[in-house]
C-alpha cells in the first residue's frame, strides 16, 4: 500500500492482526518498511505461513506473539518480548476486539467482563507498558481501532459501546500526556467494514429474516451507513498508515471517522 519507506527500521505491534482490519493495517505498515509483530487467534500453521508471506513480500522482520489480550500478564510478557528483541515499539496499534449483542437487562455478566477486558483494558495495558520506551526515543504513534460506536450508540451493544467510548477517552487523555514527547495518539472509528467475520454472518442473517443476502447488506447491516457501502479494510489501513507519517504529526487526540457518513446524521 505504500513504498515510501517512512517506517523503515521502525517496529509496529498490531494486536488482533491475524485477520480482518488488523491484518490490513499490519500489511500497510510492513509496506512502509516497518518490522511487524502480529498478535491474535487462529491456526498456528496458518499464522506461521501468513507471517512468512508478509516477511517475504515486504522484506521486513515479522514476528507473532499469541498473547491473550484479556490477560494483563500476557500483554506484559508480549511487550517485554518485543522490546527485548527490537528495543522499542514505535507504532502500537490496539485493534483486538469482540462483540456480543443482548438487551442490557439480559446481558451476560461474563460477556460484559470479557468485552471490557479485550476492547478497553487491553488498550490501557498496552499503552502504559509501551509508552516508556517511546518517550525515551522521543517518537511514537499509538493508534486504536475504536468504532462509530465510540461516538454514537446502538441498542443491545452495551458492553461494546461502553468500551469504545472508553477507548475514545483513553485516546484523548494519553494524547494530552504525551503531547510534548513526539508521540501522537489517535483512534480510528470505522463504520461497518467488509471483513471475513461480517461476510460469514450474512447468509445466516438472510435465512433468519427471510431476506436475500443483498437485502441484508443494504437494509440491515448498512441501514445506518448513508453510502450503503461497506468500508474496505484497505481504507482503514490507509488511514492508519497516514497517521504514522510526518504529515500527521499535529494530529493527536483525534477520533477519525471512516464510516460512510454514519455519524454525520
Cβ atoms of 236 and 259 within 8 Å: the answer is no
Q: 86, 160, 192, 262: which one is catalytic? A: 160
- Specify the DSSP class assigned to residue 248: G
Backbone angles phi, psi at 224, to 5 degrees: -90, -5
Closest to 120 (Cα-Cα) out of 93, 159, 82, 85: 159
| H or E element at residue 126 | helix 122-137
For residue 31 the three cell numbers come to 509496506
What burial class does residue 184 get, using C-beta atoms within 10 Å of its C-beta: 0-12 exposed, 13-18 middle, 19+ buried?
buried
For residue 14 the three cell numbers come to 498490531
CA-CA distance, 174 to 144, in Å (whole number)? 12
Cell 461474563, residue? 110
Cβ atoms of 161 and 119 within 8 Å: the answer is no
- Specify the DSSP class assigned to residue 117: I
Annotated active-site residue 192? The verdict is: no
CA-CA distance, 15 to 36, in Å (whole number)? 11
What amino acid positions are annotated as catalytic residues?
A: 160
Amino acid at each position: 500500500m505504500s513504498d515510501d519507506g517512512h517506517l523503515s527500521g521502525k517496529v509496529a505491534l498490531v494486536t488482533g492482526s491475524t485477520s480482518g482490519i488488523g491484518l490490513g493495517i499490519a500489511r500497510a505498515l510492513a509496506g512502509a518498511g516497518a518490522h511487524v509483530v502480529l498478535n491474535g487467534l487462529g491456526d498456528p500453521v496458518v499464522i506461521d505461513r501468513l507471517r512468512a508471506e508478509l516477511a517475504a513480500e515486504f522484506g521486513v522482520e515479522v514476528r507473532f506473539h499469541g498473547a491473550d489480550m484479556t490477560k494483563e500478564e500476557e500483554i506484559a510478557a508480549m511487550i517485554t518480548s518485543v522490546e527485548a528483541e527490537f528495543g522499542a515499539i514505535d507504532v502500537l496499534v490496539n485493534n483486538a476486539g469482540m462483540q456480543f449483542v443482548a438487551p442490557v437487562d439480559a446481558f451476560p455478566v461474563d460477556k460484559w467482563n470479557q468485552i471490557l477486558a479485550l476492547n478497553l483494558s487491553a488498550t490501557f495495558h498496552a499503552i502504559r507498558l509501551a509508552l516508556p520506551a517511546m518517550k525515551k526515543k522521543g517518537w511514537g504513534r499509538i493508534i486504536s481501532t475504536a468504532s462509530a460506536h465510540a461516538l454514537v450508540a446502538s441498542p443491545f451493544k452495551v458492553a461494546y459501546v461502553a468500551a469504545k467510548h472508553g477507548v475514545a477517552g483513553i485516546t484523548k487523555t494519553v494524547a494530552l500526556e504525551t503531547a510534548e514527547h513526539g508521540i501522537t495518539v489517535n483512534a480510528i472509528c470505522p463504520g461497518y467494514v467488509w471483513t471475513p467475520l461480517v461476510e460469514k454472518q450474512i447468509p445466516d442473517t438472510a435465512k433468519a429474516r427471510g431476506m436475500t443476502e443483498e437485502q441484508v447488506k443494504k437494509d440491515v447491516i448498512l441501514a445506518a451507513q448513508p453510502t450503503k457501502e461497506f468500508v474496505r479494510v484497505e481504507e482503514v489501513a490507509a488511514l492508519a498508515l497516514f497517521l504514522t507519517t510526518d504529515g500527521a504529526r499535529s494530529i493527536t487526540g483525534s477520533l477519525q471517522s471512516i464510516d460512510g457518513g454514519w455519524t454525520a446524521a
